[in-house]
Structures are given as structure tokens and as C-alpha cells.
Amino acid sequence: MSNRMWGGRFSSGPDAIMEEINASIGFDHRLYRQDIAGSIAHARMLAATGILTAQDRDAIVAGLEAVRAEIEHGTFTFSRALEDIHMNVESRLKELIGDAAGRLHTARSRNDQVATDFRLYVRDAIDTLDAQIKALQLALVTRAEAEADTIMPGFTHLQSAQPVSLGHHLMAYVEMLGRDAGRLKDARARLNESPLGAAALAGTSFPVDRHMTAAELGFDRPAANSLDAVSDRDFVLETLAAAAICAVHLSRFAEELVIWSSAQFGFIRLSDKFSTGSSIMPQKRNPDAAELVRAKIGRILGALASLLVVMKGLPLAYSKDMQEDKEVAFDALDALSLSLAAMTGMVGDLTVNRERMREAASAGFSTATDVADWLVRVADVPFREAHHITGRVVALAEQRGIGLESLTIEDFKAIDARIDSRIHAVLGVENSVRSRTSYGGTAPDNVRAQAALWREALTGKKAEPRKVARPSGHGDGLE
Ligand code: ARG
């Protein structure tokens, strides 16, 4: 009979409640490959150190491989009564090979087992994310190469500031993603120590060879302190922190795709594959995939915050609280992986409206800084004064409702006699962009050079030598 005060839907009473709160098999079944790999390494080590006979080892290894095949073929029955992946696997092993299965858990505990499994899992996830980040970077580099000469407004405060190359804008994300990959790589290097053999918390009296299992599982070394080995989850936290930063980058880019694809901007068109229509407004194309990427940071940051709070104040060594590390981490790492895939797809499929971008880049007196710079460079005017003169030039153009390039030389001279016809060379957006040749600046040749370096880094191949296309027109004065 269920307790009326707190029984609720648990018709069979406290046992059912305990099973539900205690069991992790509903999610930690995802660790099966790592769990079986860890057990095989452990069994081999036990035999190599004389703790297990060769015969038992062979039966255990063959049995574990059979269990893995059952799970992979979907014929394995997971049982919640058996709590977690570790006991589900071991119990099935016993059914398959009999008593020898009971010797596998010698000199081991579920505490070092789960710490090992999860490290292996997170390591695999990092490797997948790394490959996905590189794929997105390559998609961006490919776009940047194609759009090095495409002029768009560069923004500050989301107000047109100075014209930039679209390729340059895209390459900014390549740099961010490069650091994201670097952070994941750092986390991977620190996590790559084996907890196996730390046992429950204190180590073991059996003559285990922790270096052997560490090497077999691809770890750099065994973790040096058994208490630390079973009780820290900083490797998950660090990976989630790196994932959250990457998700922030993707969220910013996703937001730009949303803005750029709006009718008001009209800079890009996302492909049908990554857009949806409205059920009621036929004209609409909604950038749903970009919006969802923009939002995924919510759950990824949530996972980080959740696990930080779970770990806070936990006394050494293992506590069951730590079972709460997995669901949030699985969810967050899945979300980042999906976001990277969606972004790579969108970048590859979108179409750029170059005319619209250029038009927007020319609006808003975006070359005003170039006028001021020209006064400094050519007419030797101090920058502060040049800024003031340019303000008057902009005011005049604004009053007439025309762009800076439409002002006549007489107009300029009326404002400041030191200005001459050479000023026209800096008024066009192409010349403005092309003049920004400082290291890291937006000049198309810079963009092409950076894209080539990244292409080489990402593919290990040198970029094809190609003709550097120059934008047409406005070519005077700045070559
Ligand atoms: N399912 C557990 C977890 O994920 C495995 C370790 C259980 N250890 C224990 N002493 N109860 O944390």
C-alpha cells in the first residue's frame, strides 16, 4: 500500500520511489561502450598481475564482447532494478559466463569504474566536437574566400560604423572557434588520467598495475591520488565551461544570421532546408534553425551551473550526488554538437545578397573616418581637427540628402580649402575597405591571406594558388 501523504503515483510504495530516484540506467546506458572497454582493460590487467587466471580472463573478455554486441543490436534488456550500466553489464555477464563474472570486480569499485567511464565518454565527446568545430571553421573559410571582396556595413552598437569585408566578418568566427577548440583540447589534456584502480576511495591491497590499464585505455597516466580520482568531476565542469563559451559564440553568430535574413536587412537568404514557413502568413520564412542555435546556450550554461552547484560543498570522496553529473552533461554536449552541425549546414547553404550588403555599407556616411584619415595623411591636419572638419562634411551631405561621394570638390573646398580632388579616392566603400591593410584589418587581401593560413591549418594542405580578384572601379589613389 502506498503512503497517502507522499506515495502519489508510486503504487507499490517506498521501494518504487527508491528505485526511481536511485537508478541511473535510464541515462547512463550511454556509457556502455566505455564501461565495457574499462572492464576489458581491467580483466586483462588482473590476469597480467596474476590476480585472475588466463582462463577466467578469456571468458570475461569474450562475455563482455558478447554483451556489447547485444546492446549494439538492441537485444539487451536493461533493468532498472539493476540500477546502473555497471551492474546491468555485470549481471548479464554472469548469465552468459557464470561464476567467472564475479571475479571481474576484484580490486575495483563502481566509484573508480564510473569515474573512468565518464572520463572516457567526455574525452570521446571532445574529439567529436573538435572535428565538428573544424568542419564549421572550414565552411566559414570557404565562404570567406568567396566573399573577401563583398562589402558589408561593419557595426558598433548595431549602427553602421565602417564598411568591412563579409569575409573578414566570417573569419572573426573562425578565430573564436579556434580558441573554442583550444579550450576543449586543454580540458582533454587535463582529464586524460585514469581513475581505474583507485577502487572505492583508498586504493586496493591487490597488486594491480594501474599504469597498464591507463595505457590500454589511452590515458596518459593513472591519477595520482585515489580520493581525487573517484571524487572530482572538474573534467566535466571544464568541458562544459568550454562548451558554454563555444555556444555563446554560436549564439552571437546565429543572432546575426537571424538579423541578416530579415526582410529589413535582406543581406542573406537561408536555404529552405534551414528555414520554415508560417502556417498562417504565407510570405514568411522563419530562421528557426538559427534561432534554436541562438537559444541552446540556455541549456548548456544550465548544465554547467547545475553541476557546479552539485559539486559545491561535497566532502571527499564519492557521494551519490555525483550521479547527477551525467544527464545535464549528455544534454549539453548533444546540444553543442547539434548546434555546430546546424551552423555548418547553414553556412554552406545560405545565399549572400552582395548588392544589398554593399548598398547598406554605403549608407550612413560609413566612410567619414576615411575622410578624416585622408586629411591627416595627405593634408597634414591634426586628427582632432580633421574629425571636426569631417563632421561638417557629413552635416552638409546629410542636409542635402546625399552620400559623401556625391559632394563636389567645391563643396569640400568650401568647408576646408586644404581638401583637393584626391579626396574622392577614399569616399567609396571599396577603397575604404581596401585601405585597411594593417595587420588583422579588413582589406580583402588580408582576408584571403588569413583564410589561406586557416585552410592550411585545418586541412593540412596548402590553398590552391589563385588569382586575387580585385573589386572593379574606385581603383584610383590607393593602390
Ligand atoms: N551510478 C553511479 C553514478 O553514476 C555509479 C557509482 C555508484 N557508486 C556507489 N558507491 N553507489 O555515480
CA of 76 to the centre of ligand 1 (A): 21
pLDDT digits (tens, 9 = 90+) for 371-422: 999 999 999 999 999 999 999 999 999 999 998 889 999 999 999 999 999 9
Task: Determine contact, residues 78/29, Cβ cutoff 8 Å.
Answer: yes
Average pLDDT over residues 99-124: 98
Nearest Cα residue to atom 7 of ligand 1: 110
- Indicate if ligand 1 lies below 6 Å from the C-beta of 39: no
pLDDT digits (tens, 9 = 90+) for 55-105: 999 999 999 999 999 999 999 999 999 999 999 999 999 999 999 999 999
Across the chain, mean pLDDT equals 93
Please determine, for residue 365, whether its predicted confidence score (pLDDT) is greater than 80: yes
Q: Which of 157, 279, 438, 472 is catalytic?
A: 157
Please determine, for residue 154, whether its predicted confidence score (pLDDT) is greater than 90: yes
Q: What's this model's pTM, rounded to 2 decimal places?
A: 0.91
- Indicate if ligand 1 lies below 6 Å from the C-beta of 231: no
Cα distance between the two ends of the chain:
89
Chain center to CA of 409: 51
Nearest Cα residue to atom 2 of ligand 1: 323
Number of Cβ atoms within 10 Å of the Cβ of 427? 24
The answer to whether 278 is a known catalytic residue is yes
Please determine, for residue 467, whether its predicted confidence score (pLDDT) is greater than 60: no
pLDDT at 470: 45
- Tell me the sheet residues that pair with 160: 155
pLDDT at 282: 73
pLDDT at 8: 61
The answer to whether 306 is a known catalytic residue is no
Name the pLDDT band for 184 (thresholds 50, 70, 90).
very high
